[in-house]
Amino acid sequence: MKALTKTELNLPGQVSVYHGKVRDVYNINDDLMVMVATDRISAFDVILPKGIPFKGQVLNQIAASFLDATADIVPNWKLATPDPMVTVGLKAEGFRVEMIIRGYLTGSAWRDYKNGCREICGVKLPEGMRENERFPEPIITPTTKADEGHDENISKEEIIAQGIVDKDDYETMEKYTRALFQRGTEIAAQKGLILVDTKYEFGKRDGKVILIDEIHTPDSSRYFYAEGYEEKFQAGEPQRQLSKEFVRQWLIEHNFMNQPGQVMPEITDEYAQSVADRYIELYEHIVGEKFAPAETEGDIEARIEKNVSEWLTSRNA
């Protein structure tokens, strides 16, 4: 099965293109954004050397589903999904922070906590917590949004003091972040999952804060299975989870965390397929329907260009 790891589309009204770690984003007439979710996969701020079949479709369709399911509480950028791997939406001026919200102590926060850290982004953490323990209330731990290299933890107070985001806009993002996480938690619970932590990105268009990018996908979020959570937590056992964390753990087991001198392990076709299977599993759990893989026999890039160009042309007709 083929994976799409690169696009160079030629679209009507195209002004520029930005190739991110995972997405290729096309600027249309400085008014719309065409976001292609490729099959690239990144971890520890590096793109892995092999793509994951259907990963882009999974991410795009989960995000589109959640953008629709939260549009009543937070305005967002989405207009249409003209291709299984593409969302087209409104262009906004993105804020230079990512709003990370955590319901449980796990992942990088647990790694820091285990090493003695009791404060993240200005938020004090209780003593005596254990891995995968639920916080009394979800905590917001923003990061700066870096074009290259690592995003850096930063506090609300520093964001406002440095003028990265003004106080009113930040508090609007904070309010939206909590509301989105609450809705995502409720939807996950209906599917037998726990939304553990996630990140949101916001921008401003016509003076209004809107939600941009993807939400509640396995690249931006972590899910545990609700069944067995309590028993595993009490026994100190790893949780069954649906997220990209299993890729990070695999890399850690193969002595790679993108540190100097470390060598990326080989990504075999078999391992890439196993990752694809995990992504599809999450899709079917969180969306609640069977995954319908898009056609990959032909030229995937040509299919995307055709579908998006037709949508843009019809919109301008």
* Gap between the Cα atoms of 298 and 175, Å rounded: 45
Rounded average pLDDT over 196-224: 94
Residue 26 near residue 34 (C-beta atoms within 8 A): yes
Residue 43 near residue 56 (C-beta atoms within 8 A): no
Evaluate if pTM is beyond 0.85.
yes
Per-residue pLDDT for 13 more than 90? yes
Cβ-count burial 257-280 (b if 16+ within 10 Å, e if not): eeeeeeeeeebeeebbeebbebbb
Spatial CA neighbour of 66 closest among 305, 245, 260, 287: 287
* Gap between the Cα atoms of 104 and 83, Å rounded: 35
At 167, which amino acid appears?
A: K
Return the DSSP state at 89: E
CATH class for domain 94-243? alpha beta
Instruction: State the chain's mean pLDDT as an integer.
Output: 94
List the domain boundaries for the chain: 14-92+270-316, 94-243
Per-residue pLDDT for 147 more than 90? no
* Gap between the Cα atoms of 148 and 284, Å rounded: 33
Per-residue pLDDT for 296 more than 90? no
Question: If DSSP codes are grouped into helix, strand and coil, which group holds residue 94?
Answer: strand
Per-residue pLDDT for 127 more than 90? yes
Q: For domain 14-92+270-316, give its CATH number from 3.30.200.20, 3.40.50.300, 3.30.2290.10, 3.10.129.10.
A: 3.30.200.20
Query: Which residues share a beta bridge with 89?
Result: 33, 78
